[in-house]
Structure 1
Amino acid sequence: MRFFQMILLGFFLTACAQDKIAQLNQWETYYADADKPRAHIVVVPPEGSTVPMSKLVAEYVVDYLIKRKISAVVGQNKPGHGKYFVLTGLIEENQDRGRQKYPYILRWSLSDSQGRLISSHAEGVNATQQEWDFGSPRLLNSIGLSTAGPVAQMVLLESKAKTPVDPLRQGLLVENLKGLTRERADLLTQEVRKALRKADVQVTGDPRQATFRLGGEMVVTPDAEAQGYENIRIVWRVMTMDRVELGNAVQENRLLIGEMRNNWQVLMPKVAAAAAIGVEHVFGTRSGPVPGAANRAKGAPPEIVLPGVPGRAPPPPR
């Protein structure tokens, strides 16, 4: 267990790397833009139902539009200055129920703030009269979900708003670490790929599908302070495909001579996990201080905690 007591899986980001990130890619601007609403819609309670039910329908549509990063409010259109959209609707009974299973039709019209019709959308509503009368949550969620998608697409198309592309979804090519034998480098590359995928990074082995590359080198030097130990320094570099460095993360390990050679299978997953965390910090997707530091520490290293299961949690129940 002496191996676990001596290895330090700490790393830090260089200050120049942060400057390069801001200068070359402006990731901070990207993530700020990704959280901003892409358009604004005034949702008018649809006609054809009771006032309370129409207001509930509008509120649920607004909720689902906001989940799609579309700014929306319930209200009445008051023509004025500024670019925003108005969504009006009409609920009517389906007069052709012999061929259709939906007893109601909900027709939506999207206009600009000056009243110019942009597009329309109709959807069948499968609900009983009792669900209409009592405002069934199942019915309201169904309307909100089925309305928000098409309306959001119409608004984005009209406003020509583009969704920012997440840098971690553009393809990262992982290269073998220099300073290792081919066999050990291949094994480490496989572990790094697995760790990155757990962190929800889009990893590819095809350079034609990659936008960035992850490479680096390992340098082993005798420890000048303690006889019988060696210092392991690994520098991970995130680069464009033409090898312009965007940032780097450094791992510094102090081991007994021969420990790395004899315990490589145990060491690899920990090195790969720390590398994945370093990539997240370089791209600005992991908040908080970078674990580890430039100064080496003694004793067992702290556990490295990777992000949870990729994807967002389900919305809370209404």
Structure 2
Amino acid sequence: MELVSADDIRAAGARLQGAVVRTPLTAGPPGGPAFLVKPESLQPTGAFKLRGATNAVALLNPVQRASGVITHSSGNHGQALAYAAARLGVPCTVVVPDNAPKVKVDRMRDRGARVVLVPPAERAAVAEEISRAELLALVPPFDDPAVIAGQGTVGLEILEQSPEVTTVVVPVGGGGLASGVATAAWTVHPRRVRVIGVEPELAADAAESLDRGRRVPWEPERTHRTMADGVRVCLSDLTFEHLRRRLDGIVTVTEDEIARAVAHLALGARVVAEPSGALAAAAVLAGRVPTVRGRPEATVAVVSGGNVDPDLFSRLLAEHR
């Protein structure tokens, strides 16, 4: 299986100039381990997904642009694809699990996407069916080299912004972000920078898969127990192979640790994170990922998104203030 290369990520970075935000590195919450945060929540769509979606849309041929694109998403990738497609005048359809947060579904519609609601277990199959029936280009949320290359630009930016970095911590859902960031670190600075993935304990298919040496999908009934709705999906064969070869390790966090991280990021670092976006910070704050004492620039936690349900956000802040 051919994997994404650093050259693919560099090419994606050139395509993304002017279309996505080069997010800064900011200080993590005080009073705990010293680390930096990369807030991808500052992207126009509120999450890192805009990078992969923009790269994929930029690579469409004229016929595909005229027909339109389709994807399946719990929210952030759907918003990103709708935004990237609208920017180039490309029609967009998003197949969404019917239990997705309303705030994310509303934003997809606001960006001009046609939204199709289906049971969670059916979203990929329905997207593929509509793609065939309507001749739409399918842009998966993570199982695509162009998407992985776009997400990998997060890693390239970190390496440029913090030359002293030794550890990058990233959330893992479908594995596109972790695959891209690990590829950037593995091919640009082999052995110098390690990349650690983080999953909720209640949706830890990647951790089990890497431990067993083969992909072990978890059924939606298991993964949907976590509040981190953006990482309830499982690895694909493509992302599993990237992580098997290039990820340096993976850890899990509890629901309480995720909730605390959301609150600490907001109150201590002034960064709004949805539960999925707070996974990396949760692992660092809980001591799952050792940091270099007194050297915040050595560890970077990627806050992958900030599209949090307002009611949930208020509750988590009140409970962990």
TM-score bracket for this pair, using the shorter chain length = under 0.3
Name the TM-score, length of structure 2 as normaliser. Answer: 0.24
Give the structure with the higher percent strand.
Answer: 1
Give the structure with the higher percent helix.
Answer: 2
Name the TM-score, length of structure 1 as normaliser. Answer: 0.24
